[in-house]
Amino acid sequence: MAGVKTEDGADDTALFTTEGHTGVITLNRPRALNALTHPMVLRITEALTAWEHDPAVAQVLIRGAGERGLCAGGDIRAIHDDAKAGGDASEDFWRDEYRLNALIARYPKPYVALMDGIVMGGGVGLSAHGSVRVVTERSRVAMPETGIGFVPDVGGTHLLARAPGELGTHLALTGAAVGAADALLCGLADHFVPAARLPELTAELAGAPAPEVLARLAGRPAPGELAGRRAWIDRCHAADTVEETVERLLAEGDPAAKEAAETILAKSPTALKVTLAAVRRARGLGSLERVLEQEFRVSCHALRAPDLVEGVRAQVIDKDRRPRWSPPALADVSEETVERFFAPLGEARELRLS
């Protein structure tokens, strides 16, 4: 697989090897925090499909090159440029990416994801839907989309909707990154392995099943933060609106709750309201496939809304960290505006998975 050329000639952005009876995927853009591109999505899908029917491959491992993380998400600069130009490349990318997310979730062989370092956005989609998800003391797992005027996707609203209590709503609105213990608590990961033992884990997977290897190498992470904050998180995020959530957080008298409120207020007001609606609706949709179909609608509508371009400009391109959201306040985002993000795209454009 490693020698397969893509249309743009980038045959080394994702590497595919077999080590013993394990198919190994290595995301190979370390200088870009292994950010995911459309050719990478297509090649990973191709490899997983081939390995699914290969009796010599008993399980799959996905990891990131370098020391900084598995994957920081999709290539948001490319999405920014596409949105600014009014193109449809991002829509094509998401269609294939979300199909890959569904494939990973239903993969018939053990799918081991090494969620070491930064795992955000599209990186969560490549890992947290897998059947064997490993975090380390270096893990920082997040769906930070509201900070760039976007909404959690790649099945993120499905995962967050299933987290205990309102922890998922808290992470969706704040975009906060969590460490190993909190990722385990929220159901985003299954096992903790110290980063220093990852080479040993990888080597042993070549000759033994993942459950057997993890029984020897997995341990307990250092305590996280969310368990001790669960009471006020559940109480505040049970509110019906983002405005009321912020009011409750500020009324708690807890410095961490106040910080959460301030964090939320810095995000895109439109993205916040759409995100809350998306997570709440995901709870009722049931299957990952149906949630991905909803997320595809939301993402496509977000591509034509002003805050995505502005958010990426402020956070990634100009890096002034001073986005000018439109509209600028939560009170100015109407229910009709939120509903437009969930509107049908038309039969020819809809994503059909379920």
Residues catalogued as catalytic: 74, 122, 145, 153
Greatest CA separation for the chain: 59
182 in Cβ contact with 226 (< 8 Å): yes
Strand ranges in the chain using DSSP code E only, listed in sequence order: 14-19, 22-27, 59-64, 69-71, 111-115, 118-120, 132-135, 140-142, 191-192
CA distance 263 to 65: 31
219 in Cβ contact with 198 (< 8 Å): no
CA distances from 135 to 25, 111, 113, 212 (A): 17, 14, 9, 17
74 in Cβ contact with 123 (< 8 Å): no
CA distance 189 to 169: 17
Residue whose tokens read 């890096």 = 319
Distance of CA 10 to the CA centre of its chain: 24
CA distance 146 to 175: 7
Tokens representing residue 328 in the block: 């600028």
Share of the chain residues as helix, strand and coil, in percent rounded to the nearest 5? 50, 10, 35
Residues in Cβ contact with 93 at an 8 Å cutoff, skipping those fewer than 6 apart: 38, 41, 74, 79
Element (H, E) at 216: helix 210-217
Tokens representing residue 216 in the block: 């020897």
70 in Cβ contact with 63 (< 8 Å): yes
